């Protein structure tokens, strides 16, 4: 009989080999999104599908399952938050989950999602919800079957949410999001009613793209993203890809006449990147060296993008640097003006263009609707009407077409049901963490005004990054903040900042 320690070593070796495949696949995907010739698309898609089959086989094989099952009853599993214990706990959850979903449903979903995404591209272009609807019906029907196969306590949504935000239940997610929704609506109204206007014209002046690239890299490195272990390239839809320890790839896009677009997507992706750089590399590919959840990942990007990069003190420090790079565009601009310009708030139809105040309402609308579709309170043909009504109710605006309404996001066609809430959970966690770090470190804003970001990054390293996936997100945040996550720090932050800009208390 091998000892538990021997088995654990075998498990680590197995995970290391899986991570080599995952890393190769990540590099292929990065290449696909940054510079691959378009004629290579078909071969690359087949190649990536083959890699994902290999990875799937390795993480669902009976031998692998036996290894995890015997470790689960060993002494190593006793402390479920230790490195070994959390590895066994998380891998067993994932393995059991995978094993419960019938192979036929997995294959059917893969096929349906691929067709649905193609249909979505065409239907969005043609503003044609009717042709898209049957695809959406099939996806939600299959997702209901997945939820039934996995099992759930409160709502079928539990089983889907768990894939992105492990161990978070639907009632708990809804408690956080409903609290946020109810507190946000009066803030949106106060902003709309204010006569104050952000001087956004500043951002539409000419900012040469080559200079934006240099400048963005400089700011990201000042924030703490280590470029000896990463790089920055351009793409259509910015993302951060981990190829392996010491190789974290950020991407962004630039618009010469929209200064904020390039800079803030760099700060956002660099936030994801600093998290990946702070994970323990000796546990790479295993839970102690992995990100905790999508919500926690998004908390790191939102924290650097919004709570740092859109703060008044950030611009006190950053404006002189920006003026040196873009003298023509910024010579007559004050820190207060650019601070207001990058914090303009107004209700809009498109989620990805939404500001810090209104963004979460876009997410909450999607989360509510996908739960209603899943439990069939809402039927797919009625979705566009429900979507438009909810936009009118929460944001005071109605989409002028399905293309800029219900058809705007790729997520549902890609089978990503239960994914949307992780964006708002990220914003909630970010504000909880920021408030706790501010208290522990004594005045972050004064540090930002001097360009000092290292104390905040160190705090995040210790409390979040180095903890990996040793515990669920809610416990991780609670340990870091000495309080359970709530929407209140986010609302407090928005009221203070936007109350000052738009003159309401």
Q: Which residues bind Zn ion (CB under 5 A)?
A: 301
Q: Would you list the DSSP string of 369-383?
A: HHHHHHTTSS-GGGH
Q: Would you list the DSSP string of 264-280?
A: HHHHHHHHHHHHHHHS-
CB closest to Zn ion, residue no: 301
- How far does Cα 393 stand from its chain's mean position? 26
Give the number of residues written for the chain. Answer: 505
Neighbours of 407 (CB within 10 A): 24
How far apart CA 58 and CA 327 sit, in angstroms, is 55
For the bound state, the minimum distance from the C-beta of residue 503 to Zn ion, rounded and expressed in Å, comes to: 31
User: Per the residue annotation, which of 84, 269, 298, 368 is the catalytic one?
Assistant: 269
Nearer to Zn ion, 87 or 235 (CB): 235
Nearer to Zn ion, 298 or 370 (CB): 298
Nearer to Zn ion, 87 or 306 (CB): 306
Nearer to Zn ion, 133 or 414 (CB): 414
Nearer to Zn ion, 239 or 326 (CB): 239
Strand partners, 249: 231, 241
Long-range contacts of 367-372 (CB under 8 A, 24+ apart): 367/173, 367/174, 367/177, 367/420, 367/421, 367/424, 370/157, 370/412, 370/417, 370/418, 370/420, 371/155, 371/157, 371/170, 371/174
For the bound state, the minimum distance from the C-beta of residue 494 to Zn ion, rounded and expressed in Å, comes to: 19
Known active-site residue 269: yes
For the bound state, the minimum distance from the C-beta of residue 268 to Zn ion, rounded and expressed in Å, comes to: 6
How far apart CA 267 and CA 277 sit, in angstroms, is 15
How far apart CA 411 and CA 187 sit, in angstroms, is 28
Q: Would you list the DSSP string of 190-228?
A: HHHH------GGGGGS---HHHHHHHHHHHHHHHT--GG
How far apart CA 267 and CA 253 sit, in angstroms, is 12
For the bound state, the minimum distance from the C-beta of residue 399 to Zn ion, rounded and expressed in Å, comes to: 24
Nearer to Zn ion, 306 or 358 (CB): 306
Burial of 278 (0-12, 13-18, 19+ CB in 10 A): buried
Strand partners, 242: 248
Nearer to Zn ion, 301 or 408 (CB): 301
Nearer to Zn ion, 217 or 302 (CB): 302
How far apart CA 87 and CA 10 sit, in angstroms, is 13
- How far does Cα 384 stand from its chain's mean position? 25
For the bound state, the minimum distance from the C-beta of residue 7 to Zn ion, rounded and expressed in Å, comes to: 36
How far apart CA 161 and CA 124 sit, in angstroms, is 26
For the bound state, the minimum distance from the C-beta of residue 295 to Zn ion, rounded and expressed in Å, comes to: 11
For the bound state, the minimum distance from the C-beta of residue 338 to Zn ion, rounded and expressed in Å, comes to: 23
Nearer to Zn ion, 15 or 267 (CB): 267
How far apart CA 487 and CA 464 sit, in angstroms, is 19
Contact status, residue 293 vs residue 164, Cβ threshold 8 Å: yes
How far apart CA 102 and CA 148 sit, in angstroms, is 11
For the bound state, the minimum distance from the C-beta of residue 302 to Zn ion, rounded and expressed in Å, comes to: 7
**What Rg do the C-alpha atoms of the chain give, in angstroms?**
23
Contact status, residue 71 vs residue 77, Cβ threshold 8 Å: yes
CA distances from residue 189 to 75, 77, 182, 186, 269 in whole angstroms, order as listed: 56, 51, 12, 5, 31
For the bound state, the minimum distance from the C-beta of residue 433 to Zn ion, rounded and expressed in Å, comes to: 15
Contact status, residue 337 vs residue 200, Cβ threshold 8 Å: no
Contact status, residue 349 vs residue 397, Cβ threshold 8 Å: yes
Active site residues: 269
């Amino acid at each position: 009989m091998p000892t538990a320690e021997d088995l654990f070593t075998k498990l680590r070796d197995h995970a290391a080999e899986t991570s080599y495949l995952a890393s190769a696949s990540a590099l292929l995907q990065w290449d696909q999104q940054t510079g691959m010739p378009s004629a290579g698309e078909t071969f690359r898609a087949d190649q990536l599908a083959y890699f994902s089959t290999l990875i799937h086989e390795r993480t669902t094989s009976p031998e692998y399952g036996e290894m995890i099952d015997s470790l689960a009853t060993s002494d190593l599993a006793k402390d479920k938050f230790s490195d070994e214990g959390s590895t066994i706990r998380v891998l067993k959850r994932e393995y059991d989950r995978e094993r419960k979903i019938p192979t036929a449903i997995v294959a059917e979903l893969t096929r349906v999602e691929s067709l649905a995404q193609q249909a979505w591209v065409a239907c969005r272009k043609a503003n044609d919800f009717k042709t898209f609807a049957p695809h959406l019906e099939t996806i939600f029907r299959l997702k209901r079957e997945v939820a039934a196969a996995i099992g759930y306590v409160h709502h079928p949504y539990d089983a889907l949410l768990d894939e992105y935000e492990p161990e978070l239940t639907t009632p708990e997610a809804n408690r956080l999001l409903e609290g946020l929704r109810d507190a946000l609506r009066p803030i949106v109204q106060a902003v709309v009613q204010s006569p104050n206007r952000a001087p956004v014209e500043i951002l539409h002046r000419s900012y040469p793209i080559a200079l934006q690239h240099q400048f963005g890299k400089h700011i990201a490195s000042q924030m703490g993203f280590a470029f000896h272990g990463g790089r920055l390239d351009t793409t259509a839809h910015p993302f951060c890809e981990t190829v392996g320890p010491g190789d974290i790839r950020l991407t962004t896009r630039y618009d010469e006449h929209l200064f904020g677009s390039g800079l803030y997507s760099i700060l956002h992706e660099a936030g994801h990147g600093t998290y990946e750089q702070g994970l323990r590399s000796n546990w790479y590919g295993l839970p102690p060296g992995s990100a905790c959840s999508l919500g926690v990942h998004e908390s790191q990007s939102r924290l650097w993008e919004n709570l740092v990069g859109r703060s008044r003190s950030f611009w006190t420090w950053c404006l002189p640097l920006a003026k040196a790079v873009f003298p023509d565009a910024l010579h007559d601009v004050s820190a207060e003006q650019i601070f207001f310009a990058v914090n303009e708030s107004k209700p809009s139809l498109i989620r990805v263009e939404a500001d810090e105040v209104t963004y979460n309402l876009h997410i909450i609308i999607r989360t509510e609707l996908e739960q209603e579709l899943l439990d069939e309170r809402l039927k797919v043909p009625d979705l566009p009407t429900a979507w438009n009504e909810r936009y009118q109710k929460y944001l005071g605006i109605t989409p002028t077409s399905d293309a800029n309404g219900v058809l705007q996001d790729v997520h549902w066609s890609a089978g990503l049901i239960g994914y949307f809430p992780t964006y708002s959970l990220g914003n909630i966690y970010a504000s909880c963490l920021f408030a706790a770090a501010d208290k522990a470190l004594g005045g972050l804003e004064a540090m930002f005004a001097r360009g000092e970001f290292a104390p905040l990054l160190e705090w995040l390293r210790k409390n979040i990054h180095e903890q990996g996936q040793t515990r669920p997100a809610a416990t991780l945040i609670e340990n870091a903040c000495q309080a359970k996550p709530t929407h209140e720090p986010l609302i407090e932050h928005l009221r203070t900042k936007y109350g000052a800009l738009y003159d309401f208390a």
